[in-house]
Structure 1
Amino acid sequence: MEKPEQAIEGNDVQSKQSEKTTDTPKRTGSPRLHKALPAKPKPKSGTSTAAATSSVKTEGGSKAAQEPRPPTAGSLNYAQHQSALLPPGSAPQVPRERIDAKTDAASSSADQERQLGEQEKMDRDKADIRELLDEGRHQGVHEEAQDQLNRAPDNKCKTSPDESNAMQPRELSSATERLATGHLALAAFEACMADKNPIVAAKSSNVLRQFMQERRILWPESPGEGVHPLAVLLDLAYNWGIGVWFDTRLQLRANTRNLELLLTVGDMMPYWASYQRYVEKQDYEAYWKSFSVVFGGSGKSSPGAQHMKRVATAEAHICQEFTQVYQRTDKKPARIDIVNMSRYTPLISSQEWTENLNATATPGQRSGYGPIEKLLVSDTALLAVVSNLFGNYSRPQLLEHISWFFVQVFAPLVTRDIYSAMYRVKSAGDQQHRIFCTTEVEAMFGLLVASLYAANRFSAESRQMLDNDFFDEGLTVRDKIASLSSVDNAARNFIAEKLATAHSILWPPPDLSNGTSAVMHAIFSMKDTFVESWIEARRNTMRLAHSGPTFERELRFVRNYRLPFFAYDYLTNSVLVSLASLFDRAFVQFKGTASMRFGGIGFEYARQLVRAFDDVGLRVDSQGNIRDRLLSSLAINPSQCAIMGGDGIRELPALEVAYAAFKRRANESTLRTMKNYSEEQVFIITACFNLCRQPTTMRGVFAGGCNEAAANFAPFSQAFNCHKGATMNPTKT
């Protein structure tokens, strides 16, 4: 892996209290692995949230912090790429829909009092965007799984809202002061949350319907003639960042002008599947009609119950198909000449791919896709499912499915009243709307929101320490594989080159973190309605991503509101880390002892890094070129090599790597995490906690088995004195 560069100078933190810092977390009476932040204080009557919580300790002190440059990120000059964006809008203003809503609510003194009470509650909600991100991660799409965890007796893995390491209002306010454009995210969130009067709601509906018509998504009308579903799917994914079936990413290489477009399974479908199962159990006809009313109909002209049932059945089937692809562990990436696409999608010809790609997914400065251009796919199973669905359903049926899916997901852009059709209890609908607004604000302002967090929470020293931890784990992987007697020189060179080019995507670009980026105003400006702002932000963000490799990379952050927090990209040889993982109490203690850091975020990082050398990773070289087969000397019995997944236990290699890196740093501090546990025990406890805490319904995708890995991990039996032949120290045969 590339060695983290020296720190660069950052901004001063403007707070007197920021000088009061501590190097290590303060331990309280009862020993615990993770220290929760204090509960958010409630402001006194007549006092703003920011004022009531202005006294805060911030990390990094009042001195100018030395901001570290993320490995391989380099220095970004956003101003050079302004031509890729629409002209910057005027200075952001309070959305007109919010002013209208307040005016209508002030018709009487009683209404004013009620409005003030509601506004105070909204202020608390909107200011704590980080807390809402946590809610969106654990509820909504994960609601069923989280309920199961919360009902489990003595479940030490469940999440307690009081122990959330959510970003507090005072911290968001402080971060906003450092970023001149920070108020944009808050304004957008408030606009999304606000009740919309009939005039604003009608305009919002018309704007969204116009957007849908331009995307050839007609609903509740019948699909248009001559529209290819593939064109609609490509347009939504490429130009708007809405991956219904698949997500797209333009691979821009500096040494070639050939176009390469990467297709990955869309992450919306798997999460939507649980909601779809819930909706099917409700009064589906009433549910359908409520959307029809929102989108301009009376609800009386809705199709019959049998038609609705067919649409619901098709949606359930399609969700299940893509969920299975999403959960596959034996993925097979491929780089395919477009002229040969029909070999992978027999029911969609190569000519259809070429025509629809050129119509919807060509960068402005390029001529288009020809026979020599290539499509990259993260898993050929994705193409097989797409092809099969074109055989199972007619084009009008597929278009109706896409339209109905879009309507269900994005109807709350128009009105929050739609939740009355989804949930019987109003509070559940209100909660879901906060989750919706949170996720959409991050989709619009992903880089900005990430920078708000990073600017206020992490000093230069913290960033450098974490970068160095990741770098050390890369060295550990290299050393462990190189020590294998069965690995020849060719394989060692392959491994060394891949580790040398591996990089992490975690910290936002330096320009944005320092509040100097002018590009944010070019992307985002508040319009009369939230829908208009939402459309403009999505359009401009995708244009920025397609303008050059620098922005494509920096915009490829893991979403902070959904699992997984960590991912490995085989084709770009990069580990993606969500900033949300640094606020989650299972990982946030990276500022603590080495046992806590490497047992927490270090272990999760290692779980992704070792994928570079699993059966899929060994077929992809450091430049993203895909090999037909494994290197011969690496195609060995996995039981001979822990780093390759010894004994078929996928967590064991990561445990070996993280533990070895931890032992390298074990002498960096004499502090102990717990009175009654050694640091070796704390490392293992932390790692196992991270594995067991995942929602049970998601276990096959994100979680892993602690017991099996620990039982085959020698340091575990040594740390906990497990005798030979015990369940957790079995005798090897």
Structure 2
Amino acid sequence: MLLPESGGCSSEVLGYSQWPRDALPPSPAAQPGSPSPFPAPDALVESAGSSKLSPGFSAARSTQSASQLVAVKHKACPSQECQRHARLLIGGLNRSLDPCHDFGAYVCSAWKPRSRSTEGYSNDFNSQLNDVVTSWLKGLEDLLIAGVDEVKVAVKPLALLRSCRVRRRATGVDLEDFREFMSLLGLCWPHDTCCDVSALGVLLGLVYSPRRRRSARRRWDLCFWLRLRVLRDSELNGSGRRLTVYPGPRAFVERFAARHTYVVLKGNYVAYWTGHLDALLQDMSMSSRPPAVREDIERFVKAEHIIATALYNTVAKGTWEPIEVPLSDIGNYTGNVSSKDWLDKINANVVDESAVPFTEDERVLVTDVSVLEAVEKIFGTFKDREIVAHLSWQFVQEFGAVVDPTLEGLYKDNGDKLFCAGQVELVYAPLTEMLHWRLQVTRGERRYIDGKLERLVQRATEMMQSLWWLDSKEKRAATEKLRTLRVRMRPSEQVELELERMYHDFPNGTDSEESFVKSWLKTRGAFSRLASQRVSDGVARFGPTLSPLMIAYDYVDNAVNVAAASLTSPLYYFNATPAMFYGGIGFYFTAEAMRALDWTGLQIGANGHIVSPSWMSNATRQVMESRLSCPTAGVPNEALLPYLPALEVVRKAFFEDTETSDYRLEVTDDLNEVKAFFMTLCRVVCANPPWGRAAADCNAILKNSRDFAVAYRCQKDSPMNPSMKCGYFS
């Protein structure tokens, strides 16, 4: 439901404690030869007061308590990064709360988002992870200034950014150009004179471009409601390609739903609508403008509610249901949109290197059937003209601030600098990522990051090999997915070498008289001409940068994309203790990697093909479900996958590294190395409902950690130390 009785953003109706509905598995048993950090099988039920402490803690407690684990042979970390992180953790604690009752509130309730700082920025989703994105965008200009000496083409995004920040309301000529661009996309607003066209064609054309001429190959990447990729697949017969359909970008869809909900709940929709109307038609006389009729706007709002709800359902699902069908059968899932409609509109819009039309026998992989359900709902409820009108209105809401910077104030307090940085990042993401790695990450640090993340995947693979409740065939399938998993953290060498050529035709900003609107339109046009599959996919994969989920697993590619923005505090520090690394980026990277084996991952093989119904037997799935069912913890297993298995993997690495690390985060009784590990894990997902969204429910995860109960001396059967605990590997 998009409009809860309590109010707030639909994407946050789930609340902090209910958010993680995705599933995934990680961690294994200890290898022979070293003390196991995991409890023995007969120690499955215990409390903090029990003598059966996990071996990792028992060894440390041979001379002292777990809460003083840092004291003996190790020194307090003196680096500025450690001091800053310690202040971050301690300053955010709410000491009036009991960590054994609600650890998430203990760590997060005193936290305040940077978006409410004196700089006046407010974001749609207040969360610690969103603060990381905000910091990245605010630092973009400095990165580009430094990058000009490194790569000449960096002058182009820098010029676009600066032009955006000093822009004024568009002139009549600029407004005509902007409306003409909308017309090129098949859109029009507020008039609907151009809307007598195929809505499916317009929807697909926003991702690609209508193939009016064989030479006019474009890719707009305006993925409002869905995303499309044409994958080259050597395992397929015939064309060797496969069309893949994804839900729309999660952050984009959530922003659309949140914006709708926010404006409706504020009772400002008529003013919001007319504000955009005035901005886009300011060059027209009042007599030539279409009137803003309240009744028409209210009908539009009701329709938008249905559309936003359908789209939000495609990204809010915890577990995807992938399907792979021939194009001749796709219409069976989309009601009024027939298979012939799909085939005709795909061939009219979707570009492919081969330029060979698709046939009805070719396969299409839909990563989640909810995408087709949304198409069925929307196209079954509204006529084509109405659908195109809503696509047009969504475009105006998303990009109207290009022609009038004051439009940002209709929804945000003051997001103009973030809007400008976002426009640059959407187009120049490979370049900004490359500059970050070249200018802000040393070779030694790069080797450190690569080694740490590679070792976490290797450790998870080893633990899967030791998992007693998988049979040999299932172990091979699981370990093959982890063994072949790719970690994509920076542009490939091929993309780096092609950057100058990729951006050669983009405007360089040397014309000081050129308006931002013209620069933006030229930039989007040049971006659309990056039509080769290799280049466009190389650009498209950098999407996580602008999302609070800066580390994201791709089920089809079996790859984890790690945006450069994630390599910033509090997710990552170079001069850090094990608690800071494994509680931050280490944990969240591992969780995303383990999505290879979650309820969705069980349906997709290492090669990206559907395995029906699963590569895991029903009997084993039942064992897995039972191990993640925690009646005394009151936590559904949807909240534990992939995070609980990831915690088991990371926990093992954390204790091993802590034993050999020279430094620990030892500050006060409230903050030692072990507590810092758990606090960092939760701090990273602090969020302010209803607009904020937690990436994981740290309470649900840590209720199943004996080490947590020991560190905080939680009484048996206290909320954070239930008697019966879940375990994936242990």
Q: TM-score, normalised by structure 2?
A: 0.74
CA contact (8 A) 2:195 2:384 kept: no
Aligned residue for 2:476, secondary structure, equals helix
Aligned residue for 1:626, secondary structure, equals coil
How far has the Cα of 1:354 moved from its partner? Answer: 0.5
Partner of 1:450: 433
Aligned residue for 1:572, secondary structure, equals coil
The answer to whether residue 163 in structure 2 is matched with residue 191 in structure 1 is yes
- Out of 206, 212, 225, which is 1:245 matched to? 225
Matches within 5 A, 1:488-507: 488-507=471-490
- Out of 149, 152, 160, which is 1:180 matched to? 152
Aligned residue for 1:264, secondary structure, equals strand
Matches within 5 A, 1:502-651: 502-510=485-493, 517-523=500-506, 525-526=508-509, 528-544=514-530, 546-549=531-534, 552-553=537-538, 555-583=540-568, 585-630=569-614, 631-632=616-617, 634-638=620-624, 649-650=640-641, 651=643
Letter in 1 for 2:248: G
How far has the Cα of 1:362 moved from its partner? Answer: 2.3
- Out of 435, 450, 460, which is 1:477 matched to? 460
Partner of 2:42: none
Aligned residue for 1:518, secondary structure, equals helix
How far has the Cα of 1:141 moved from its partner? Answer: 11
Aligned residue for 2:456, secondary structure, equals helix
In 2, distance between residues paired with 1:655 and 1:191? Answer: 46
CA deviation map 1:571-598 (0-9, x unaligned): 1111122222222x22132541222111
In 2, distance between residues paired with 1:577 and 1:35? Answer: 28
Q: 1:345 to 1:27 in 2, by over 3 A?
A: closer
In 1, distance between residues paired with 2:117 and 2:507? Answer: 25
Partner of 2:696: 704
Partner of 1:219: 189
Partner of 1:394: 383
How far has the Cα of 1:332 moved from its partner? Answer: 0.6
How far has the Cα of 1:271 moved from its partner? Answer: 0.7
- Out of 302, 310, 315, which is 1:326 matched to? 315
Q: Which has the higher contact order (CA 8 A, sep 6+)?
A: 2
Q: 1:372 to 1:193 in 2, by over 3 A?
A: same
- Out of 234, 243, 259, which is 1:275 matched to? 259
CA contact (8 A) 2:572 2:580 kept: no
Matches within 5 A, 1:66-77: none
Partner of 2:328: 339
Q: 1:166 to 1:195 in 2, by over 3 A?
A: closer
CA contact (8 A) 2:551 2:560 kept: yes
CA contact (8 A) 2:114 2:131 kept: no
Identity, % of aligned pairs? 23
The answer to whether residue 368 in structure 2 is matched with residue 379 in structure 1 is yes
The answer to whether residue 357 in structure 2 is matched with residue 368 in structure 1 is yes
In 2, distance between residues paired with 1:328 and 1:30? Answer: 33
Aligned residue for 1:497, secondary structure, equals helix
CA contact (8 A) 2:553 2:592 kept: yes
Q: 1:524 to 1:577 in 2, by over 3 A?
A: farther
CA contact (8 A) 1:454 1:508 kept: no
Aligned residue for 1:666, secondary structure, equals helix
Q: TM-score, normalised by structure 1?
A: 0.73
Letter in 2 for 1:552: D
How far has the Cα of 1:439 moved from its partner? Answer: 1.2
Letter in 1 for 2:709: S
How far has the Cα of 1:405 moved from its partner? Answer: 1.6
Partner of 1:73: none
How far has the Cα of 1:310 moved from its partner? Answer: 0.8
Matches within 5 A, 1:718-733: 718-732=710-724
In 1, distance between residues paired with 2:137 and 2:205? Answer: 38
Greater shift after overlay, 603-612 or 549-558?
A: 549-558
Q: 1:249 to 1:530 in 2, by over 3 A?
A: farther
Aligned residue for 1:302, secondary structure, equals coil
Greater shift after overlay, 617-626 or 221-230?
A: 221-230
Q: 1:173 to 1:512 in 2, by over 3 A?
A: farther
Letter in 1 for 2:161: F
In 2, distance between residues paired with 1:598 and 1:616? Answer: 25
CA contact (8 A) 1:264 1:379 kept: yes
How far has the Cα of 1:717 moved from its partner? Answer: 2.6
Letter in 2 for 1:379: D
In 1, distance between residues paired with 2:136 and 2:508? Answer: 32
- Out of 302, 308, 326, which is 1:313 matched to? 302
Letter in 2 for 1:183: V
In 2, distance between residues paired with 1:452 and 1:170? Answer: 11
In 2, distance between residues paired with 1:367 and 1:521? Answer: 28
CA contact (8 A) 2:161 2:420 kept: yes
The answer to whether residue 673 in structure 2 is matched with residue 679 in structure 1 is yes
Partner of 1:658: 650
How far has the Cα of 1:533 moved from its partner? Answer: 3.5
Aligned length: 597
Matches within 5 A, 1:90-169: 143=123, 145-146=125-126, 167=139
In 2, distance between residues paired with 1:283 and 1:554? Answer: 37
Aligned residue for 1:400, secondary structure, equals helix
CA contact (8 A) 2:573 2:580 kept: yes
Partner of 1:288: 273
The answer to whether residue 226 in structure 2 is matched with residue 233 in structure 1 is no
How far has the Cα of 1:144 moved from its partner? Answer: 5.8
Q: 1:140 to 1:574 in 2, by over 3 A?
A: farther
CA deviation map 1:203-226 (0-9, x unaligned): 221111111112221222224365
How far has the Cα of 1:183 moved from its partner? Answer: 1.6
In 2, distance between residues paired with 1:550 and 1:515? Answer: 9
CA deviation map 1:102-155 (0-9, x unaligned): xxxxxxxxxxxxxxxxxxxxxxxxxxxxxxx98699999974653xx8xxxxxx
Greater shift after overlay, 168-177 or 667-676?
A: 168-177
Aligned residue for 1:589, secondary structure, equals coil
In 2, distance between residues paired with 1:266 and 1:587? Answer: 26
Q: 1:142 to 1:473 in 2, by over 3 A?
A: farther
CA contact (8 A) 1:590 1:601 kept: no
Partner of 2:18: none
The answer to whether residue 245 in structure 2 is matched with residue 260 in structure 1 is no
CA contact (8 A) 1:25 1:592 kept: no
Q: 1:414 to 1:724 in 2, by over 3 A?
A: closer
In 1, distance between residues paired with 2:629 and 2:451? Answer: 21
Structure 2 gaps, min length 5: 1-25, 27-76, 92-112, 209-218, 726-730
The answer to whether residue 348 in structure 2 is matched with residue 359 in structure 1 is yes
In 2, distance between residues paired with 1:272 and 1:137? Answer: 24
CA deviation map 1:667-712 (0-9, x unaligned): 4421112233443332222112223x1342366x643222232121
CA deviation map 1:70-95 (0-9, x unaligned): xxxxxxxxxxxxxxxxxxxxxxxxxx
In 2, distance between residues paired with 1:586 and 1:386? Answer: 39
In 2, distance between residues paired with 1:508 and 1:278? Answer: 37
